[in-house]
Amino acid sequence: MAQGAGTAVSGVAFEDVSFSYSAGGAGRSALCDITLTLSSGELLAVVGANGSGKSTLARLCNGLLVASSGVVRVDGLDPADPDLTWDVRSRVAMVFQDPDNQIVGTVVEDDVAFGPENLGVPADEIRRRVDAALAAVGLAGFERREPHLLSDGQKQRLAMASALAMEPAYLVLDEPCAMLDPEGRADVLALADALAHERGHGVLLVTHDIADVAVADRVAVLDRGVLSFLGDPEDLLSDDAALTAAGLEMPSIGVLAALLRESGFDVPRRALTPEALVGALWH
């Protein structure tokens, strides 16, 4: 397959990327001069208020949208090059917010097989991929189930299995937990964590829940299309001004943890769930 301009740089790289939905770049840009890279084995959280540009950034990663200016590269390949569309999309898989909108198969295994079938993968290899993907998301044994009978959390994990069956290097998850109950949310978040840190995928996790940054290696904050913070989650979590400026709210567990820290308790800044807070106090 074509290898593009021959740049051997790995990762999903944004260089001075701007994007405007209106033709010719008139009006306000949805994204302004974004420079960042998602690497293999890394979980990069992208947070920001509604309308800050998170989904736009996600869609630029695999060519669903094309930069108005600047450069996006996926392992050196240009997602805007029509000849590279399939190569890029097999490297960067997307999972969206709505668990009901992503299912195409009438049974679970058909749904997972759909992507590799479209790529022309041989049948025995498809079987292997389907089994591996379902095992990876904790849905082994669900092969013949009807997707619409699954819980929302299971549907999202099915969507992630279908993405994994493409054997992508990178996964872009656009608010995958937004419509889930707390259990489904915790399962999907744990899976995102494992895919990056145990399986070596580069995972871009878009979220509006600041508690999710606890599992991230780095966090990017978008504020009205501008990258207002890129760095260590702990630095963001200790910067109330940066959080407030970006329209982000510290969850009440984080407020409680801050009060405990002020009182001399050794509570890490990433302890943003009840379980993590109890774990930190009980060690």
Ligand X SMILES: Nc1ncnc2c1ncn2[C@@H]1O[C@H](COP(=O)(O)OP(=O)(O)O)[C@@H](O)[C@H]1O
The CB-of-199 to ligand X minimum distance in angstroms stands at 26
* Count of residues engaged in binding ligand X, rule: CB under 6 A: 10
- Quick one: what does residue 265 bind among Mg ion, ligand X, none, with the CB cut-off 5 to 8 Å set by partner type? none
Task: Choose among ligand X, Mg ion, none what residue 56 binds, the Cβ cut-off being 5 to 8 Å by kind.
Answer: ligand X
Residues 234-263 that bind ligand X (CB under 6 A): none
Task: Find which of Mg ion, ligand X, none residue 21 binds, CB within 5 to 8 Å per kind.
Answer: ligand X
**Contact between 68 and ligand X (CB under 6 A)?**
no
Closest listed residue to residue 212, CA positions, set 54, 37, 73, 39: 54
Closest by alpha carbon to 40, among 207, 187, 202?
Answer: 202
**Contacting residue, 9, 16, 25, 51, with ligand X by CB under 6 A:** 51
Of 21, 183, 244, 259, which lies in the binding site for ligand X, with binding defined by CB under 6 A? Answer: 21
Q: 21-38 in b/e burial notation, b at 16+ Cβ within 10 A?
A: eeeeeeeebbbbebebbb
Residue in this structure with the two tokens 């929302």, named with its chain if needed:
152
Q: Does 62 bind ligand X (CB under 6 A)?
A: no
Does 102 help bind Mg ion (rule: CB under 5 A)? Answer: no
Binding range to ligand X, per CB under 6 A, among 46-54, 87-95, 96-104, 109-117: 46-54
Tell me the C-alpha to C-alpha distance, in Å, between residue 164 and each of 94, 121, 125, 201, 231: 10, 14, 14, 10, 27
Minimum CB distance to ligand X smaller for 46 or for 108:
46
Helix residue ranges, H only, 14-151: 54-60, 85-91, 108-118, 123-136
Residues counted in the chain: 283
Whole-angstrom distance, CA of residue 161 vs CA of residue 150: 14
Q: Within 10 A of 264 (CB to CB), how many other CB atoms are there?
A: 7
Taking contact as CB under 5 A, which single stretch among the options 50-58, 66-74, 110-118, 220-228 is the one that binds Mg ion? 50-58
Check: CB of residue 151 under 8 Å from CB of residue 99: no
Q: Mask of contacts with Mg ion, 181-210, x by CB under 5 A? A: ------------------------------
Residue 50 as a binder of ligand X (CB under 6 A): the answer is yes
Task: State yes or no: residue 55 binds ligand X (CB under 6 A).
Answer: yes
Of 151, 149, 140, 78, the C-alpha closest to 109 is: 140
Residue choice 4, 48, 176, 233 for contact with ligand X (CB under 6 A): 48
173 three-state secondary structure: strand
Check residue 56 for interaction with Mg ion (CB under 5 A). Answer: no
Please return the burial class of 233, using the count of CB atoms within 10 Å of its CB with bins 0-12, 13-18 and 19+: buried
CB of 219 to ligand X, least distance (A): 14
Question: Contact positions toward ligand X, by CB under 6 A?
Answer: 21, 30, 48, 50-56
Question: Contact positions toward Mg ion, by CB under 5 A?
Answer: 54-55
